[in-house]
Structure 1
């Protein structure tokens, strides 16, 4: 059996999970493929692919060109970048793994604190021989707005409340009763953007949420507000966000996710001084990788034994 582990950016996949137990030929790919043609060319001879989240897309047009593929394992319990129906049509079993949401909620607060206290600029100043260069913003008493109040949004709300922040939220399906369960006030979409001092996004990317936050919503935000996105880049209209950040119509954007990933080296957001940027590392912790790759090995062994686990439908 030939196994390809994809998008192992940190070259750590083989240190998590008992890969030796599979008695298979394993190749690790540490960089993203340029396009679908390169993907098919490089992966055409593999029986099993282990995909890291949604870093590599597997639409029907790609899956139809991988006749040797038998098992596609995605880290995480779901993967919007895989056309599962097309995989099944081609006789490919698609499996997921377990997941932990807490690291992403924690990283949300790393970004909020970094933005509120201008930490990147202070880090750079101290490293280059300087001293204080900015004036931070206190979070206590401010309003934290949450776009989405599911598992991650409610976790972020709890931390905000510990900081002494008022928490408000909106999503298409949020009810006042559900919000109250978490000590959060349910408000309209317009009120959420207008009232929030910190606005944090916690939605799954779907047809309903793609481009959900555009110029009209961003125009409602306070000039000293912070926007945080640890969910998915395409939920926010990237051009509209770049515009308000360039004009300093909001104080800061703190982003872990982008419309195109890896973020192109020449992307204009890299040049702005009122952004905090991290390379989609909200979930990237030892604990999550132990689950991802440990479950991936288990899935492959189960498939070999004729009893697939965690099959996506």
Structure 2
């Protein structure tokens, strides 16, 4: 049977949990040996509810009054945010402590729906006993780190910051994007890809609009309406599959229209469209054509943003009316 130790980074969360459970269990054993019926999972909540001025000074707790606790009352939402736990988890934990009489609650005068939690006199008394013990526990853990010569706290802070800055989901997506972009191949027109050209565009158009008669003509016979007319079609191939396409359609003698760009839904958002568009722009720049333009729809926000990034600028339509019923924006390539 494979152990967690041999599972590498994939088991990191499980190993952290195992260490966490071990620390909880050993601290609970320590509390019980001192006659304190406390679960160590409650420590962060009790620590947050204790006023700052008392956290390192047991003498300040000699005269215990309820007012000491109320002064540091916090809502469940505030505790959840501070500890990075769910509202439900804090509610369950606080109910247990309230049943033991260690914490109490009051209603927020500004919002009667909010319960404010604070340490009771009994809870403050328990914390007074615990403060010296917590310092010894902290020192014991510091000694463990010295033995292992590993700056764990600093590394955990960096790990938490890195995860907050960019989630695992985003990081995996970026890795997939990078791999795809490294392996993708851009192919020029070949009649064997006619079916893919039609299918990709049909799926895209039917998702957002519908096939117009002009689309049906061009997609049904790309050789006649694009290639023989002096244009070009590019295809994005990944691991043997055609996953995207774009066309350059001749217009008005010395112009090219960037059109019929579509990407398989499974690969959208991975930068395939940008790679295809750049291939089309490179082709235009090496041609004798004087203008590269496109027509689109403003509701396609990601596509419009991409066109702006690539150097396309919005202009009035030269004919005042597009051949596409769906088009409401005309853009011309104007590299800086």
| TM-score (ref. length: structure 2) | 0.23
Larger Rg: 2
Relative contact order higher in (CA < 8 Å, ≥ 6 apart): 1
Q: TM (normalized to structure 1)?
A: 0.24
Q: Which has more strand, going by share of residues? A: 2
